[in-house]
Structure 1
Amino acid sequence: MTVQEYYEALLPEVLEGEARGDFEGAADTAERYKYEHLQAVFMNLDKIENGDALYKKMYQTAMETCGKHLREKFARHEVINVAFMSYSAAQWPAELLYRDMEKDPRFNPYIIVSPLMNRDEKNRVSGYNQTLLWYYNNGYKVFGGVGNTYLSFEELGGIPDIVIHLSSWYECLPEQQEYLRLPWKCANIYIPYGIEVGDNWNHTYAIDNVFNKDIMNMLWRLYTDSKITLQSYEKYGLIQGVNVRYSGYLKMDELVKPRTFTKQEIAELWKCPGDISKYRKIIIAPHYSIGNEGEFISSTFRQNVWFWLYLAEKYRDSVSFLFKPHPNLRGAAVQYGLFSSYEEYDRYFAAWNELPNARAIDESKYIDYFLTSDAMIMDSSSFIGEYLYVQKPVLYLTRPEQGFTDLGEAIVRTYYRTPGWNLMEIEEFIEDVVIGGRDPMKPEREAVFEEYLDYYRLNRKLSHEIIFHDIVSAMES
């Protein structure tokens, strides 16, 4: 049975429920229906008479169901179980919110680490083990999603009251760990691990895969990075963004009030053969979309893959480099023939760490590198917005297929830009801007940051404070 056939087979059950009045406030919807029933209608809107209206009615009933469950459990002074879904430590944005809940006896937060099913077995196992170990080592309550088989929610602490999603790509998870298998009494929250800035050249990708993606229309709450992003959900979403709240970008709470670093701490992060204070520090961040086909194409890595090692060698006495690729680059580089095997890519990755002034990381947290760096060279997506928080220069590597959301376009205009194949201009950026200190774009970066992303100035609260208060307030009402 195909995915489409599976969801079409659920439609008679939905239509029978509609005829019974189940979506008019019936009492037993908490257990009878799962989010897969919403998915069945969402995928077949054009096949159902007044499909949009039926979907919105079902969505409203689902939200009333999970909201009622939370309020009643909260009123009985029962602990609210909150599962954070994660498949990558590098993408973890919710440290402060998790600790808020951990300190509050009304909540039982924990993390479910899932393997990525769209990776080859070696990458899947390696990424899963690295992520699981990172959470264990950093003092989180964590469940691993793999036993003798892929485990279900019931086997991972039980059906949670709230699931907090950090990525919308639920299709990459084992089927047993997809939110679609959860009953309506479970409230789903989305806190993006990245800022929504990437699109394709004809501006259809962000509508279909972000603002009107299925999961976005099934959430109890969606906390967004900026008011302009909220407006996009209102404009393009089937439910017109009724579940979206402007909180600011949670991951960047760590950068709003950045800590200072000692010289020794910086030296432990960045490799160099001499005095670290005499070195400029540059992050190289390639995206994985190196092919010429697909809905989203951004990477220029094919044009400059070996140039980075050349630069690291050439500037070994003045620049320390951090190679921070997208975690999916390893698989894509082999898939599209840039490397003949994973072993060849691994040798390339290792070559960075063999240099006296360079380091390569993949599944590690990178905020401290942002704070201590001097510049970034990238064709990444979410880093476009994230790096603006540290107010340092960026060279964005371009290719014709790239596109951006309204927010992304505003930010990229404040960055230095050159085609990914223009090696001469890449080196000129290092010489003139990074080493030479000439940064004429700085005022423009500061102005765009203040207008769109400076949520602390606008709200006078950190994002984790806003989110935590909103969740508690909804259960107290």
Structure 2
Amino acid sequence: MKWTKQRIKAGLQWRYDLLREHVYRLRLPLLTWVMRRKNVVNVTFLVNDLPTWKTENLFTAMLAHKRFNPIVAIPVAIERPGSHLEVEEYCKSKGYPCVILDSEKRIKTQTQADIVFYLKPYQTEYHPRHRYVENLDMIHMYVFYSFHGILDPAVLNKPMYRILLYDFYDNELSAEDAKTDSWNHGKNFCVTGLPFADQLLEAKELSPDQWRDNSGRKRIIYAPHHTIGDIHMKGCDYGTFLETGNIVLELAKKYKDKVYFAFKPHPLLWQRLTWVWDEARVAAYFKEWEGLENAQYENGPYMGLFKHSDAMIHDCSSFIAEYIAMDKPVMFLLKDEHVIDNLNRAFKYAQKVHYHGKTYDEIEHFIQMVINKEDPMADERHEFVQKYMCPPHGKTACTNIMNAILAQEEYANQ
């Protein structure tokens, strides 16, 4: 291997970053001790993409708590250009304190944060000055933007996880399964439930109805994932869009008098499709959904969509648990029989109480079941929700997380 100046510089930078992380971990107990003795703790939520912001209710819970002063810090988007502007508009409409981050300055200099929550652990989505290694003067905590389901060292050992004070988990079973492949065997795991679960389990009346149709037709969500073809890492390639996308579209047309669809693709599906199809074909497919009399296109927050739906068809790993909480019929589109091999026990249980489909006939049969109000898996699904979706201690996940941060009540010895 030829050693170039660039390789040498990258190697030296990597070693320097590891040293900084080591020093940070040594300082973390002191930073935590100081933070917990403050009258008011400043918390920054880094948010540059609305559909995957799953800690909004934790943010609002902190706004109402006398010990926390939260702010939404909005990094300029890289992966989905312009999405940060949607976040800014949304926060201003809600009256949330927020700031667009200067890409050339570190986070604390702009927010005075004691604690920072990143939206995602993928550091390539952030400008260099906003990556965790450049911001080791704050306490880092993380709430995964979905339920924990994938057991894969590449997923469980993102570099940012090395420096977290807490990695908050949904339930004991998921945490226990992840410990084996985790870099530190789960020493910083904290089982609180996830804030998004609080919203999922709320009565539907608390979420506005996002559906545009009130004709009485059944409401079915179609949510295809972006992991299509062979363009994604093995073990996370759930997407069946290339096999089933046209099937669902044709069935939506066929049942236009009885079913109203919400087409809710993963935000990255359009981009990923352009790696396989040309831009015109991608645009034509999306436009066809938008033009249907019995469909609507959704690409933003979806709580009201979930709550006021009748069923869902999807191939997204995160929705395996999320939509189950609705306790409504749901079909998982199977790419193959081994697609769930790397899921933890909780997710495998959840996937078992899905209806499964690959073919036109199987998907159509599910749609007909929804129309006819047939749901033979209802009891099994309800049992799963009660056992694995509800946060511990009889409290909300948001309350548990705030108690963990402050080392109070059930988390006094954390």
**2:397 equivalent in structure 1:** 463
- How many angstroms does 1:322 deviate by? 0.5
3-state SS of paired residue (1:335): coil
User: Relative to 1, partners in 2 of residues 1:6 and 1:69: Cα closer, same or farther, differing over 3 Å?
Assistant: farther
- Of 148, 155, 161, 2:114 maps to 161
- How many angstroms does 1:468 deviate by? 1.0
**2:271 equivalent in structure 1:** 331
- Of 114, 125, 143, 1:172 maps to 125
Which stretch shifts more, 346-355 or 320-329?
Answer: 346-355
- How many angstroms does 1:157 deviate by? 2.3
Work out whether residues 25 and 163 of structure 2, in 8 Å CA contact, stay in contact via their aligned partners in 1.
no
Q: Is 1:124 matched up with 2:78? A: no
TM-score, normalisation: structure 1: 0.78
- Of 60, 64, 68, 1:103 maps to 64
Work out whether residues 394 and 416 of structure 1, in 8 Å CA contact, stay in contact via their aligned partners in 2.
yes
- Of 188, 193, 201, 1:248 maps to 193
- How many angstroms does 1:356 deviate by? 2.0
- How many angstroms does 1:306 deviate by? 2.4
| 1:7-55 Cα deviation digits (max 9, x unpaired) | 54464x6xxxxxxxxxxxxxxxxxxxxx75355xxxxxxxxxxxxxxx6
- How many angstroms does 1:59 deviate by? 6.6
Alignment of 1:198-237 (within 5 A): 198=150, 206-210=152-156, 212-237=157-182
C-alpha separation in 2, matches of 1:172 and 1:405: 27
3-state SS of paired residue (2:237): coil
C-alpha separation in 1, matches of 2:204 and 2:291: 30
User: Relative to 1, partners in 2 of residues 1:304 and 1:238: Cα closer, same or farther, differing over 3 Å?
Assistant: closer
| 1:130-172 Cα deviation digits (max 9, x unpaired) | 2222222222111223x5x5553155324x2100123222232
- How many angstroms does 1:68 deviate by? 3.2
1:380 partner letter: C
**Structure 1 vs Structure 2 CA RMSD:** 2.6
- Of 327, 348, 358, 1:409 maps to 348
**Structure 1: gaps spanning 5 or more residues:** 14-34, 40-54, 200-205
User: Relative to 1, partners in 2 of residues 1:260 and 1:71: Cα closer, same or farther, differing over 3 Å?
Assistant: closer
| 1:415-469 Cα deviation digits (max 9, x unpaired) | 11122xx1121111101x21112211112212222232222xx421010011112
User: Relative to 1, partners in 2 of residues 1:313 and 1:232: Cα closer, same or farther, differing over 3 Å?
Assistant: same
C-alpha separation in 2, matches of 1:95 and 1:85: 11
| 1:270-308 Cα deviation digits (max 9, x unpaired) | 233xx53x2100000100011214322110101122233
**1:137 equivalent in structure 2:** 93
Q: Percent identity?
A: 24
C-alpha separation in 2, matches of 1:260 and 1:225: 24
Work out whether residues 196 and 229 of structure 1, in 8 Å CA contact, stay in contact via their aligned partners in 2.
yes
- How many angstroms does 1:194 deviate by? 0.4
**1:358 equivalent in structure 2:** 295
TM-score, normalisation: structure 2: 0.89
3-state SS of paired residue (1:124): coil
Work out whether residues 83 and 112 of structure 1, in 8 Å CA contact, stay in contact via their aligned partners in 2.
yes
**2:285 equivalent in structure 1:** 348
**2:140 equivalent in structure 1:** 188
- How many angstroms does 1:173 deviate by? 1.4
Alignment of 1:9-408 (within 5 A): 9=13, 11=15, 37=19, 60-72=25-37, 74=38, 77=39, 79-117=40-78, 119=79, 123-125=80-82, 127-145=83-101, 151-154=105-108, 156-158=110-112, 160-183=113-136, 185-198=137-150, 206-210=152-156, 212-260=157-205, 266=209, 269-272=210-213, 275-276=214-215, 278-295=216-233, 296-337=236-277, 340-341=278-279, 344-362=281-299, 364-400=300-336, 402-403=339-340, 404-408=343-347
- Is the radius of gyration larger for structure 1 or structure 2? 1
C-alpha separation in 2, matches of 1:242 and 1:216: 11
3-state SS of paired residue (1:327): coil
Work out whether residues 38 and 218 of structure 1, in 8 Å CA contact, stay in contact via their aligned partners in 2.
no
